[in-house]
Amino acid sequence: MEDTSHEVAQEMMKLSQYIDVLIPRGGRGLIQRVVQTASVPVIETGAGNCHVYVDRDADLQMATDIVVNAKVQRPSVCNAAEKLLIHRNVAAKYLPIIAKALQDHGVQLRGDQDACALVPGMIPATDEDWDTEYNDLIMAVKVVDSLDDAINHINEHSTQHSEAIITNDIARGHEFQQRIDSACVYVNASTRFTDGGMFGFGAEIGISTQKLHARGPMGLAQLTTIKYEITGNGQVRK
């Protein structure tokens, strides 16, 4: 296509007689426009309001390493962490240390009232922050009372892309994986692993955040469909 205007794109979204599927790659606005406009089937990809939750019995060094990696290693991509949740029982001990590690990498922190009280200079978060994918060195921080609170907050504000829990309690990690409604849910690992290359799929087509057909990182195999080729010699069904 030589003409990449919005008008031609809108027309393409209706060409179901020629196009099997659309995979929008870009910002959240583009993705939502395609989802809401197209009559061609759409695989929704990309937007990543990803969370890392530091549980009450997390290993501090592991938590710090994972949070910094998830936020800093490549902040402009959809699998970078945008939100940090931390259990109240360990917030006073862990949060100032993790916050300093993030700030040392130039991350601007925006927190709820409890987080701001523990980290001097943290910017108060707004309601909008909890739903924002920054794609930048910005991270919102919230202190939660329990695993339930963390799960409920994530399921309310997530784009169903990638979430992580840092914990030494495998049962709690498994519960987190079972109850979080996202394409990729990690225990003690960075959200940055959500990638077609990391998953062994080769070149990545995208990361699907929907539940229809492909979900999570997609390679070519994930975009194939089934075709049955049947050869008979006069069989009939009785």
Render 173-197 in DSSP notation, one character per residue. HHHHHHH--SSEEEESS-GGG-STT
Determine the pLDDT at residue 202: 86
Cα-to-chain-centroid distance, residue 209:
8
Q: Does residue 73 surpass a pLDDT of 90?
A: yes
Predicted confidence at residue 25, as pLDDT, reads 81
Exposure string over 92-103, b if 16+ CB within 10 A, otherwise e: eebbeebbebbb
Mean pLDDT across the chain? 91
Using an 8 Å Cβ cutoff, are 50 and 81 in contact?
yes
Cβ-contact 187, 173 below 8 angstroms: yes
- Show Cβ contacts of residue 157 under 8 Å, excluding neighbours closer than 6 positions: 49, 51, 83, 130, 131
Per-residue model confidence (pLDDT) at position 234: 59
pLDDT of 69 reads: 95
Which among 76, 51, 67 has a CA at the least distance from the CA of 135? Answer: 76
- Name residue, tokens 């997609």: 218
Question: What domains can be seen in the chain, in order of their start residue?
Answer: 1-45 (no CATH), 50-193 (3.40.309.10)
Per-residue pLDDT of 38-55, as tens digits, reads 999 888 887 899 999 999
Could you tell me if 161 and 207 are in contact, meaning their C-beta atoms sit under 8 angstroms apart?
yes
153-184 tens-digit pLDDT: 999 999 999 999 999 999 999 999 999 999 99
Calculate what percentage of the chain has a pLDDT beyond 70. Answer: 99
Q: Yes or no: say if 82 and 139 are a contact pair by the CB < 8 Å rule.
A: yes
Banded pLDDT at 236 (limits 50, 70, 90): low
pTM for the predicted model, two decimal places: 0.87
d(C-alpha 94, C-alpha 96), whole Å: 6
